[in-house]
């Protein structure tokens, strides 16, 4: 084989154009009678190093550490460098550039409503579907979560509480936040992360009592800023803790930097409390064994801080900006305690994985870029190639790199240079011309 041939294979596979069967269920798909419940938790701006199990020297995350020990993991799991692109890929199983969701603001966070979401696919198969937290793929019909397959929704608008899309009276409050339940303004009581999890618990209980399997999506807006309103008990803890070991540069240990770090960590430890409440609640409801619980983050940390030795942070395509833990707990179905899978995977794989677990086929004709990870999580490794398509013309400048493409092929990493970038542009023009153009026809939605 010529030297150049594998590169084309990589690109074709990564663009989903040369890997027939990538999303073919490869795990032991569940039968209709034993369909698992699914809980997907994704936090906002929590970095790869913001966990006790990642070696963080000061951060307290005992419940997430316990969950990691009970989970199958993928060590090199990749997301996008900012919020919305990750959410679009997570919801669709497709590269975000196909979905029009390419950045977080000025209209670039509105996902093409014809995209078919995992919530739509699972709802069509009989699942109760609920979202509790951050959607960030469009605030108006027909782009809201409630228009995109979620029967139950309790969400904030835009990219976060405290942003311009906040409703009157919102005032950027994380405590007693003004949210939207199924499209209707609602003044909630308590800290927002606690409110989301409480709403998810009630949704789970109700679905279980009705005998329906459920898909609960809990994308918290914490530990994303603003930072003026964080859990006070944890803030007191971290204010009294020496945090210098968690600074990217101990020489920057100013009062302001340490205060900011304490506030991020306070929100993260509160998330951890809620993970503890979640696992306890699943036990109480008798659902723990038949629930696939997945945990991940949406992008790297928002500031430089301890990041397990990875370079970069949110907004960069260095490892520290795009790597997330992937924890998947499904007792009796996925192994625990083993070495994390060492092959690459990404956010585009989550929707195919959930479909596989539920034994649900995607609609005919729908192209998914990702593949099910059930085999990988169970220790069956397959060669895998991925690409971050940063060189497309519409990629926002802050997500570009020079040289642009980040490729990973199997175990070794390849950092591609300009000759490959030119090759790839030619290939993309030839093979993926419609990725960013208006569609000539709509697909049937389930």
Position 84 contacts Ca ion (CB under 5 A): no
Whether the upstream peptide bond of residue 64 has omega within 30° of 0, thus cis, is: no
Interface region with Ca ion, contact rule CB under 5 A, candidates 88-96, 110-118, 284-292, 296-304: 296-304
Tokens of 86: 């990750």
At a CB cut-off of 8 Å and minimum separation 6, what does 439 contact?
A: 112, 114
Position 45 contacts Ca ion (CB under 5 A): yes
Secondary structure of residue 343 in the 3-state scheme: strand
Q: What are phi and psi of 427, to 5 degrees?
A: -65, -40
Q: How far is the CB of 89 from Ca ion (least distance, A)?
A: 13
Vertex 160, ends 43 and 173: CA angle to 5°? 105
Q: Which of 128, 186, 194 is nearest to 157 (CA)?
A: 186
Interface region with Ca ion, contact rule CB under 5 A, candidates 37-45, 51-59, 89-97, 269-277: 37-45
Give the CA radius of gyration of the chain: 21
Q: How far is the CB of 437 from Ca ion (least distance, A)?
A: 27
Q: What letter does residue 75 receive in the DSSP assignment?
A: E
Q: Rule CB under 5 A: which of 196-255 touch Ca ion?
A: none
Contact yes or no for 302/314 (Cβ under 8 A): yes
Tokens of 37: 């419940």
Interface region with Ca ion, contact rule CB under 5 A, candidates 38-46, 252-260, 329-337, 345-353: 38-46
Closer CB to Ca ion, residue 44 or residue 198?
44
Interface region with Ca ion, contact rule CB under 5 A, candidates 61-69, 81-89, 171-179, 346-354: 81-89
Q: How far is the CB of 234 from Ca ion (least distance, A)?
A: 20
Position 103 contacts Ca ion (CB under 5 A): no
Q: Rule CB under 5 A: which of 376-435 touch Ca ion?
A: none
Q: How far is the CB of 207 from Ca ion (least distance, A)?
A: 28
Q: How far is the CB of 73 from Ca ion (least distance, A)?
A: 21
Interface region with Ca ion, contact rule CB under 5 A, candidates 44-52, 121-129, 226-234, 393-401: 44-52
Q: Tokens 């509790």 sit at which residue?
A: 132
Distance between CA 258 and CA 246 in Å, rounded? 10
Q: How many residues bind Ca ion (CB under 5 A)?
A: 5
Distance between CA 324 and CA 307 in Å, rounded? 11
Interface region with Ca ion, contact rule CB under 5 A, candidates 76-84, 340-348, 391-399, 418-426: 76-84
Closer CB to Ca ion, residue 163 or residue 299?
299
Q: How far is the CB of 263 from Ca ion (least distance, A)?
A: 16
Which of 11, 41, 83, 354 contacts Ca ion by CB under 5 A? 83
Q: How far is the CB of 296 from Ca ion (least distance, A)?
A: 12
Q: How far is the CB of 5 from Ca ion (least distance, A)?
A: 38
Position 50 contacts Ca ion (CB under 5 A): no
Contact yes or no for 346/24 (Cβ under 8 A): no
Contact yes or no for 101/85 (Cβ under 8 A): yes
Nearest residue to Ca ion, by Cβ distance, number only: 83
Distance between CA 313 and CA 221 in Å, rounded? 17
Q: Tokens 């690109």 sit at which residue?
A: 11
Position 298 contacts Ca ion (CB under 5 A): yes
The H or E element containing residue 295 is strand 291-297
Q: How far is the CB of 430 from Ca ion (least distance, A)?
A: 33
Position 369 contacts Ca ion (CB under 5 A): no
Interface region with Ca ion, contact rule CB under 5 A, candidates 40-48, 172-180, 195-203, 250-258: 40-48
* Angle subtended by helix axes 255-284 and 62-69, to nearest 10: 50
Position 44 contacts Ca ion (CB under 5 A): yes
Q: What letter does residue 175 receive in the DSSP assignment?
A: B
Q: Which residues bind Ca ion (CB under 5 A)?
A: 44-45, 83, 298-299
């Amino acid at each position: 084989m010529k030297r150049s041939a594998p590169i084309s294979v990589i690109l074709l596979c990564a663009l989903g154009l040369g890997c027939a069967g990538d999303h073919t269920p490869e795990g032991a798909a569940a039968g209709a009678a034993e369909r698992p419940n699914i809980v997907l938790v994704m936090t906002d701006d929590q970095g790869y190093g913001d966990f006790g199990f990642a070696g963080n020297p000061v951060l307290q995350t005992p419940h997430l550490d316990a969950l990691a020990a009970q989970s199958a993991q993928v060590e090199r799991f990749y997301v996008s460098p900012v919020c919305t692109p990750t959410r679009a890929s997570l919801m669709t199983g497709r590269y975000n550039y196909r979905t029009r969701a390419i950045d977080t603001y000025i209209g670039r966070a509105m996902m093409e409503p014809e995209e078919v979401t995992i919530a739509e696919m699972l709802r069509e198969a009989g699942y109760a579907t609920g979202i509790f937290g951050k959607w960030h793929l469009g605030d108006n019909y027909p782009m809201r979560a409630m228009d995109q397959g979620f029967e139950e929704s309790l969400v904030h608008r835009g990219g976060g509480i405290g942003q311009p899309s906040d409703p009157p009276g919102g005032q950027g409050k994380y405590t007693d936040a003004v949210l939207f339940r199924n499209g209707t303004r609602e003044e909630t009581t308590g800290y927002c992360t606690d409110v989301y999890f409480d709403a998810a618990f009630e949704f789970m209980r109700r679905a279980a009592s009705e005998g329906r399997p459920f898909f609960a999506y809990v994308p918290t807006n914490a530990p994303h800023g603003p930072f003026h309103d964080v859990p006070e008990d944890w803030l007191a803890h971290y204010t009294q803790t020496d945090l210098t070991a968690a600074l990217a540069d101990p020489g920057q240990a100013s009062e302001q930097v340490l205060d900011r770090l304490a506030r991020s960590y306070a929100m993260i430890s509160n998330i951890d409390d809620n993970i503890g409440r979640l696992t306890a609640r699943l036990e109480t409801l008798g659902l723990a064994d038949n629930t696939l619980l997945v945990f991940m983050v949406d992008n790297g940390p928002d500031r430089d801080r301890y990041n397990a030795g990875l370079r970069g942070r949110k907004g960069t395509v260095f490892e520290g900006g795009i790597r997330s833990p992937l924890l998947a707990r499904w007792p009796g179905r996925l192994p625990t305690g083993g070495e994390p899978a060492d092959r690459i995977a990404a956010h585009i794989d989550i929707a195919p994985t959930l479909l596989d677990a539920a034994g649900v086929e995607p609609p005919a004709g729908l192209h998914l870029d990702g593949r099910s990870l059930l085999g990988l999580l169970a220790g069956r490794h397959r060669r895998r190639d991925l690409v971050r398509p940063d060189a497309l013309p519409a990629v926002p400048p802050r997500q570009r790199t020079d040289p642009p493409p980040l490729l990973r092929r199997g175990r070794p990493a390849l950092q591609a240079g300009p000759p490959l970038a030119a090759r790839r542009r030619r290939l993309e023009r030839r093979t993926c011309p419609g990725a960013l153009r208006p569609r000539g026809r709509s697909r049937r939605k389930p």
